[in-house]
Chains A and B, each alone.
Chain A
Amino acid sequence: MPEISLLSGPEAVRVGFYVCHCGTNIGGTVDVKALAGYAASLPRVAVSRDYKYMCSDPGQALIEQDIADHKLNRVVVASCSPLLHEATFRRALGRAGLNPFFLQMVNIREHVSWVHLDKKAATEKAQDLVRAAVRRVALHKPLQKRRVDINPSVLVVGGGIAGIHAALTLADAGKQVYLVEREPTIGGHMAMFDKTFPTLDCAACILTPKMTAVGSHPNIKLWTYSEVVKVDGYVGNYKVQVKHKPRYVIDDLCIGCQECIAACVYKEGKTPDEFNLGLSKRKPVYLPFPQAVPQKVVIDRDTCIEFKSGKCKKTCIEACGDRLAIDFKQKETFDEIEIGAIILTTGFKTFAPERNPYSGYGRYPNVYTSLEVERLINASGPTGGEVILRDGKKPASVGIIHCVGSRDANTNRWCSKVCCMYSLKLAHLIKEHTGAEVFNFYIDMRTPGKGYEEFYDRLLDEGVHFVRGRVAEVSDWAVHPSEEGKLVIRAEDTLAGFVRRIPVDMVVLSVGLEPQADAQDVRRLFNISCASEGWFLERHPKLAPVSTFTEGIYIAGACQGPKDIPDSVAQAGAAAAEALALIDAKSVELEPYTASILEEECSGCKSCISLCPYQAIAFVEEKKRAYINEVLCKGCGTCVAGCPSGSIKQNFFEDEEIFEEIEGVLAYA
């Protein structure tokens, strides 16, 4: 290793060391005076100080003044995480005329004071870390940030209410928006609901105007039945490939008249209708629901006779006539788009209650999920808004079981947040539609939100029964003549202190919310993180709730965690604002932590090329060497670690710097 020969002469390294008390956050656990004294004893440290709040204006001024007075050319600040204040202190160095990258931060708050109790040991650990930083900073090199232009277009992935709201907000601000939805229509879960809590306004009435606005907005390119398959690039300059699945109907020619549906050789639908959760049947050519946007039919190749046998009479084509909108030869197509920011609003899926055998779902036909009941109640649903059981009867008594797949150690531990409120809504609607007696089985009623508790009070007044306790079992085992032919809900009533058996005609399972089945694939595709439960991880739970750890990629709605409509819309607006703030800045500064190939030393072994997650490395045939495109490099360091001959160098993370730091930590004090 090269000895640091910067001890004397004009190039001599002169380090200023500053330790922050952070009030008592650090000062309470680390002996900051002793730490400053220790740092003063280290080689090359010219000034060493402690100060109550280094990040304050006087704290920063202290650094600037010392740089001038003591001719400092390196600065080490021992305080909090660099995530919080590295930029602050770098700016201070810049103001004093020093390259900002001559700074090294030591995180003695998150890494020391917050995680230790023993003051002596904590101070010793802080000393080790400070020694490492003082040694490392001597090797720092001046670096320059890069500035790149930002493409002002935005991609929104997922066309539920969050995606719709984000897309409209951005489009109304004059930005080009691409909205990609994998289903044949936008609308998401909200389109399936009849009413929304707590105001009971009709979901379609408030949603469909926004859906049509998306469909006709000049600034929105709506791609339904499409999926993002590839994401390249970086903040401000993403390149995304979108796959369009063939709907076998030419978008531009289909006018949504639906004559083909009527003309289909199937007189009746034979395929379970996905939008109605299988409660009705559809034909191979179909429109998901009457208000679908776009109003373009889809042909399902798995059930269409023409695709199965090639011998269909093709009455649909006859019906379509001169419009010529049906094309059985359609292939999937791809579009490449360039955008500056991405908003993910990919939503959730509902808990599959088969995983809870006690619930009786799948075993007793009169056990429904809450989402199925939404469709039953919906006027455009399979029963035209009548709550009718599978046997055609109207239920006289209904039990709604809360927390199915929520707050349950055996399935999902989290509270799905929306179920209490939608259970109350369904209780009200069922009662309204059928006059049935309704029982709610709940663990706790969770109704925080504007007008939510009032809605709960209203339900209590409407005569809905509430039983506090977890349901043990749903069965058809009658022990009393009154239970014959009914479903019996056995539940502990923790308020009354005994176990109840309540016979009902219909059971509604208030299923919880879960991350989408392919959330992990989507997260990898967009290079963001998931929390352990599988929800997309926000950059900071309080202060950056719609940002991710990947710059320029935002999340909104239930893909980040269970959320009701108001919260999803609020987040979508927030994400749109974040995206606007980014793209309206016109350009973005990139950290200069890029990697570069040492061209003389590279052996051309190609090991690095496939390692790069950003496709920034290419093999140059003429030179038989690898080459890193600095604009594409995000400084992840993967190639640097992977280069078997050490011929890739990364700014700010050069081997010498890292080894010096390690040796500093391990050196005996």
Chain B
Amino acid sequence: MSDRSPDKPKVAFYWCASCGGCEEAVVDLAEAILDVVAKVDIVFWPVAMDFKRKDVESMADGSITATFLNGAIRTSEQESMAQLLRSKSQLLVALGACSHLGGIPGLANLFDRASLMQEVYVQPPSTINAEGTLPQTHYQDNGYSVELPVFQETVRPLDQVVDVDYYIPGCPPTPKTFLAAVQILLGSELPVKGTVLAPDCALCDECPRKDTKPEKPVFNEFKRPQQMLVDEQKCLLAQGLLCMGPGTRSGCEALCVRGNMPCSGCYGPTSRVRDQGAKILSCLASLVESKDETEIDRVLSTIPDPVGTFYRYGLPGSLLQRKRPDGVRQAPLPSR
């Protein structure tokens, strides 16, 4: 870090509530990462190099050109890091589905904090916790006092916590998507603030099976890949599989479909859609063949986990954001 060039853009990476796959995607750039590294100075990247919070605190406000933050915001520590990095960065980029829309961790918004704690620390058959001890935020021992982050009630995407300039979608973003996004950011003209740095067309546009999609696929049952031999050429929706492709932003080059698995929606909606799950539901529901209510119920009951299917990556960023905790009237969350 001693050979920092004053005119090279300074870049930071940080990791909140996520699996780490997005950082992996950065590493997956392979040789291409060298080109990136040649053009920028990495000033903060805890997963790869030894940095401390105080290193960031000591930087001047706005001194980081761009911070790529992945992961949703669940704890008080993540929230405070997000605020810190925001103030130090000219551009804050939400990297990956969790940061963009809430991601898989966001499905925890179907539960409240208390029941999650019970589920994890008290109820598992492999857990012995007779006193029902739950994680604490303060701990005192031997004269030492430790402060631990608060586990918050709700998982939030980054833009519900701080102002976000750009988004890179995907769970994780493909190396190609990441590289293209970085090149756009390094370019001379920045896109409009709030842009998701990926094509703004749905996945069918780049799907190799597009031509096999019928004009009227009809559903009498929704199937899951393990229940059938999936035809490797034919449109997956036409085979009765729940493919989120029509309602999902493209840019991944239909990787899952090429692997004979339906799109699960990780690139999120296009810029014109506020609620990906509602949109894809509205589309699919009209393709159920029967007009009889009981039969429609039966067809829909073949979707075992509707929220996990239609909002797999986007519940916290959707219009509803979360399940209302029992008996609690939800205070309005800040809108994006």
Chain A interface (Cβ < 8 Å from any Cβ of B): 598, 600-607, 609-611, 619, 624, 638, 641-647, 655, 659
Q: Nearest residue in B to A602 (C-beta to C-beta)?
A: B201
Q: Contacts A606-B215, A610-B215, A644-B247 given; 15 further ones with Cβ under 8 A?
A: A598-B272, A601-B270, A603-B203, A605-B246, A610-B216, A624-B205, A624-B210, A641-B282, A644-B246, A644-B280, A644-B282, A645-B201, A645-B249, A646-B270, A647-B270
Q: Which residue of B lies closest to A625 (CB)?
A: B205
Asked whether, in the complex, the Cβ of B286 is within 8 Å of the Cβ of A611, the reply is: yes
How far is B203's CA from A624's CA once the two chains are assembled, in angstroms? 13
Q: Is the CB of B246 within 8 A of A601?
A: no
* Shortest Cβ gap from B292 to chain A (Å): 14
Whether the Cβ atoms of A606 and B214 lie closer than 8 Å is yes
In the complex, the answer to whether B279 meets A601 with C-beta atoms within 8 Å is: no
CB of B213 within 8 A of CB of A606, answer: yes
- A128 vs chain B, min Cβ distance (A): 16
Residues of chain A with a CB closer than 8 A to B247's CB: 644-645
Question: Interface code B258-283, partner A: CB below 8 Å = 1, 0 otherwise?
Answer: 00000000000111111000011011
State whether A619 touches B286 (Cβ < 8 A). no
Q: Are B272 and A647 in contact (CB under 8 A)?
A: yes
Residues of A within 8 A of B282 (CB): 641-642, 644
B-side interface residues, number (CB < 8 Å): 28
Q: Bound complex: CA of A606 vs CA of B213, how far in Å?
A: 8
Q: Determine which residue in A603, A638, A643 has the highest number of CB atoms from chain B within 10 A of its CB, and name it.
A: A603
Q: Which residues of A contact B249 (CB under 8 A)?
A: 645
Contacts of A598 in B (CB 8 A): 272
Q: Closest 10 CB pairs between A and B?
A: A646-B272, A644-B247, A603-B202, A610-B216, A645-B202, A605-B246, A605-B204, A603-B205, A646-B273, A603-B204
- Which of A609, A643, A647 has the most chain B CB atoms inside 10 A of its CB? A643
Pick from A603, A641, A642: contact of B250, CB below 8 A: A603
Q: Does B221 contact A (CB under 8 A)?
A: no
Contact partner, B272, options A611, A624, A645, Cβ 8 Å = A645
Q: How far is the CA of A643 from the CA of B273 in the complex (A)?
A: 10
A607–B272 CB distance below 8 A: no
Which of B202, B272, B286 is A605 in contact with, Cβ under 8 Å?
B202
Which of B204, B210, B271, B279 is the most central at the interface, judged by chain A CB atoms within 10 Å of its CB?
B204
Residue of B201, B213, B214, B250 most packed against chain A (CB within 10 A): B201
Select from chain B the residue with minimum beta-carbon distance to A647. B272
Q: Contact between B283 and A644 (Cβ–Cβ < 8 Å)?
A: yes
* Nearest A residue (CB) for B216: A610
Decide: A603 near B246, CB < 8 A? Known: A645-B269, A645-B273, A646-B270: yes
> How many angstroms between the C-alpha atoms of A624 and B208 in the bound complex?
13
Q: Are A604 and B216 neighbours in the complex by a CB distance under 8 Å?
A: no
9 A-B contact pairs sorted by A residue (CB < 8 Å): A605-B246, A611-B286, A643-B283, A644-B246, A644-B273, A645-B247, A645-B269, A645-B279, A646-B271
Check: B245 CB closer than 8 A to any chain A CB. Answer: yes
Q: Which of A610, A638, A641, A645 counts the most B-chain CB atoms under 10 A from its CB?
A: A645
Residues of A within 8 A of B202 (CB): 603, 605, 644-645, 647
Complex-state Cα separation, A611 to B282, whole angstroms: 11
Is B33 in contact with chain A by the CB < 8 A criterion? no
- Smallest Cβ-Cβ distance to B281: which chain A residue: A644
A598 and B201 alpha carbons, distance in the complex (Å):
10
Contact A607 B279 (CB under 8 A): no
Contacts of B216 in A (CB 8 A): 609-610
Most chain A CB within a 10 A radius of its CB, from B205, B271, B280:
B205
B165 within 8 Å of A by Cβ? no
Q: How far is the CB of A158 from chain B (nearest CB, A)?
A: 26
A638 to B282, CA, bound (A): 10
B210 near A645 with CB under 8 A, answer no
Residue B287 at the A interface, CB < 8 A?
A: yes
Answer whether residue B200 sits at the interface, using C-beta atoms and an 8 A cutoff: yes
List of A residues within 8 angstroms of B279 by Cβ: 643-646
Nearest-neighbour CB distance to chain B for A270, whole angstroms, equals 39
Is B215 in contact with A601, judged by CB distance below 8 angstroms? no
Name which residue of chain A comes closest to B243, CB basis: A605
Given A601-B200, A605-B202, A659-B274: A646 touches B213 (CB 8 Å cut-off): no
Interface pair B210/A604, CB less than 8 Å apart? yes
Q: Contact at A642–B272, with CB atoms within 8 Å?
A: no
Give every chain B residue within 8 A of A645 (Cβ-Cβ): 201-202, 246-247, 249, 269-270, 272-273, 279
CA distance A25 to B249 in the complex (A): 51
- Kindly list chain A residues whose C-beta atoms are within 8 Å of the C-beta of B246: 603, 605, 607, 644-645
With contacts A605-B213, A644-B280, A646-B279 known, is A610 near B270, CB below 8 A?
A: no
What residues of chain B lie closer than 8 Å to A659, measured between beta carbons?
Answer: 274
Task: Return chain A residues, CB-CB under 8 Å to B270.
Answer: 601, 645-647
Nearest B residue to A640 via CB reads B282
Shortest A640–chain B CB gap in Å is 10
Say whether A610 contacts B287, CB under 8 Å. yes
Residue of B213, B245, B246 contacting most chain A CB atoms (<10 Å) = B246
Give the one of A605, A609, A641, A647 with max B CB within 10 A: A605
Q: Which of B37-86 contact A (CB under 8 A)?
A: none
Q: What 1/0 flags go to B209-225 for Cβ under 8 Å of A?
A: 01001111000000000
Contact (Cβ within 8 A) B214 A642: no
Q: Is B269 a contact of A642 with CB atoms below 8 Å?
A: no
CB distance from B193 to the nearest CB of A (A): 11
Complex Cα–Cα for A602 and B214 (A): 16
A643 to B281, CA, bound (A): 10
B215 and A609 within 8 A (CB): yes
In the complex the two chains form, what is the Cα distance from A603 to B283 in whole Å? 14
Rounded to whole angstroms, the CA-CA distance of A642 and B246 in the bound complex is: 11
CB nearest neighbor in B for A624:
B210
Contact A601/B201 with A646-B269, A646-B279 known, Cβ cut-off 8 Å: yes
Q: Which residues on A sit within 8 Å (CB–CB) of B271?
A: 646
A390 → chain B closest CB, angstroms:
42
Given contacts A646-B269, A647-B272, A659-B274, contact A604 B205 (CB under 8 A): yes
CA distance A386 to B318 in the complex (A): 77
In the complex, the chain B residue whose C-beta lies closest to that of A645 is: B202
Quick one: closest A residue to B247, CB to CB?
A644
Chain A residues with Cβ below 8 Å from B201 are 600-603, 645, 647
Query: CA separation between A624 and B274, bound complex, in Å?
Result: 25
The answer to whether A655 and B272 touch across the interface, beta carbons within 8 angstroms, is: yes
- On whether A607 and B205 interact (CB within 8 A), knowing A601-B272, A645-B270, the answer reads no
CA distance A604 to B246 in the complex (A): 9
Given A605-B213, A619-B215, do A642 and B273 touch, yes or no (CB 8 Å)? no
Give chain A nearest CB distance to B195 CB in angstroms: 13
Q: How far is the CA of A304 from the CA of B280 in the complex (A)?
A: 55
Chain B residue nearest in CB terms to A666: B332
Interface string of B186-204 (1 = CB under 8 A from A): 0000000000000011111
Of chain B, the residue at the smallest CB distance from A598 is B272
Contacts of B204 in A (CB 8 A): 603-605
- With a cutoff of 8 Å between Cβ atoms, the chain B residues found around residue A644 in the complex are 202, 246-247, 273, 279-280, 282-283
Bound-state Cα–Cα, A5 to B223, Å: 47
